[in-house]
Amino acid sequence: MKSLRRILAIAHKEVLHVLRDPRSLYLALGMPVVLLVLFGFGVSFDMDHLPVALVDEDRTASSRRFAAHVFGSGELERVDAGGVTASDAVRLFEQRRAVGVLVIPAGFGASLARGRTAAVQLLLDGVDPNTATQTLGKADAVVRAAGAMLTSPGRGLPRLPVDVRVRTWFNPAGRSALYLIPGLTAYVLALASVLLTSLTLAREWERGSMQQLFATPVGRMEIILGKLLPYLGLGTTAVLLVLTAGAWVFDVPMRGDALALTACSTLFLLGMLGQGLLVSIVAKNQMVATQMATITSMLPSMLLSGFLFPIENMPAPLQVISNVVPARYFIHALRGIMLRGNGFAEVARDLVALGLFASVVFALGVARFPRTLA
């Protein structure tokens, strides 16, 4: 009873601190949404509005239907090239009016009519390789689809020459927000949780109020629970906020088990809070805590988690290290639950890994949390 009172007193004080300092609220709730929108729109702009000019040298009904299909999907944006020829492509690139030129050569319609493979040509501006790769990937998919529409089923698929295998960095699936949101959620949660908890604990050390707490009957578990519980609540709110924003703005689905998602994010958050606790014990002042918290949360959850770079493409040593990065399991579980409709059975491995990480950091933190000053 008294213990509960003490924990609540500390938690209540923590809530007051947070409410008094809008920066921590921004860090926990504002930053995730801002980053989500920046990343989400930033990348999807690149993907959805790639300006491509059309040069139709065939001028048949087939070529016009083909072009209509290619640009009708909305993935490539048709720029008005007003009768350009293939040799005008360079000028379009230089003026940055197009990133690609699609050439339908004369004889396209005739080849199709005879049931032969019809060729189209795609000229790409290679100055920005990233855009070029993305355009190629898009065009490949769109041209295949358009080609299929033109071919009657009995004659078999035309083998179109735009046959490329592209690994797109951010989203092999072609829709950026879908793939980004789980990673972004993990990244932002990790950063905000570790930073906020390590700072609030370091502040008590730095200001000498921890000493004041030690002169009361309050125990270290009570201090730790009281200080961290509010941030578990804040982190959970941030998860809900990001997922809601993702669903609204980018139509990210939520196909799987919401309970499994809650379990994953709670365990992940607990691990991050424990990491913040450890950082504060080592750092004991706000400046060092800020640096340690940022480095230990941001770098692994961005670079070693599969958020930006697929884990299977990493050098072997980094792949090994990524095994102890909790964000890796959280992102994997989130993608599975949200996009593939997974439930507890499929994310069991991730849950165990997240639970293990949380238990280890908390055990270490509690053991190393000083009870006296020396």
Structure tokens at 356: 């293990």
208 contributes a contact to another protein by CB under 8 A: yes
291 contributes a contact to another protein by CB under 8 A: no
207 contributes a contact to another protein by CB under 8 A: yes
One residue of 17, 78, 144, 175 binding another protein per CB under 8 A: 17
214 contributes a contact to another protein by CB under 8 A: yes
**Amino acid of residue 82:** G
One residue of 114, 163, 215, 312 binding another protein per CB under 8 A: 215
Nearer to another protein, 114 or 371 (CB): 371
Stretch that binds another protein, among 142-150, 212-220, 235-243, 340-348 (CB under 8 A): 212-220
State in angstroms the smallest separation of the CB of 204 from another protein: 9
Q: Is 143 exposed, middle or buried (0-12, 13-18, 19+ CB in 10 A)?
A: buried
Q: Which helix (H) or strand (E) holds 56?
A: strand 50-56
369 contributes a contact to another protein by CB under 8 A: no
DSSP bridge pairs for 54: 102
For residue 182, CA distances in Å to 242, 298, 340, 345 come to 9, 15, 13, 19
220 contributes a contact to another protein by CB under 8 A: no
Distant-in-sequence, close-in-space partners of 75: CB < 8 Å, separation ≥ 6: 47, 48, 50, 138, 141, 142, 174
**What is the x/- site pattern for another protein, positions 230-259, by CB under 8 A?**
------------------------------
Buried b (16+ CB within 10 A) or exposed e, 255-278: ebbeebbebbbbbbbbbbbbbbbb
If binding means CB under 8 A, how many residues of this protein chain bind another protein?
Answer: 28
One residue of 130, 212, 244, 262 binding another protein per CB under 8 A: 212
Nearer to another protein, 162 or 366 (CB): 366
Strand 100-104 with 76-79, pairing:
unpaired
Distant-in-sequence, close-in-space partners of 342: CB < 8 Å, separation ≥ 6: 256, 257, 260, 333, 336
344 contributes a contact to another protein by CB under 8 A: no
374 contributes a contact to another protein by CB under 8 A: yes
77 contributes a contact to another protein by CB under 8 A: no
15 contributes a contact to another protein by CB under 8 A: no
Strand 100-104 with 50-56, pairing:
parallel
218 contributes a contact to another protein by CB under 8 A: yes
Residue 79 near residue 53 (C-beta atoms within 8 A): yes
One residue of 2, 114, 165, 167 binding another protein per CB under 8 A: 2
DSSP bridge pairs for 53: 79, 101
- With CA atoms as reference, report the closest residue to 334 among 242, 200, 229, 206: 242
Nearer to another protein, 9 or 320 (CB): 9
State in angstroms the smallest separation of the CB of 140 from another protein: 58
Residues binding another protein (CB under 8 A): 1-3, 5-6, 8-10, 12-13, 16-17, 20-21, 207-209, 211-218, 372-374
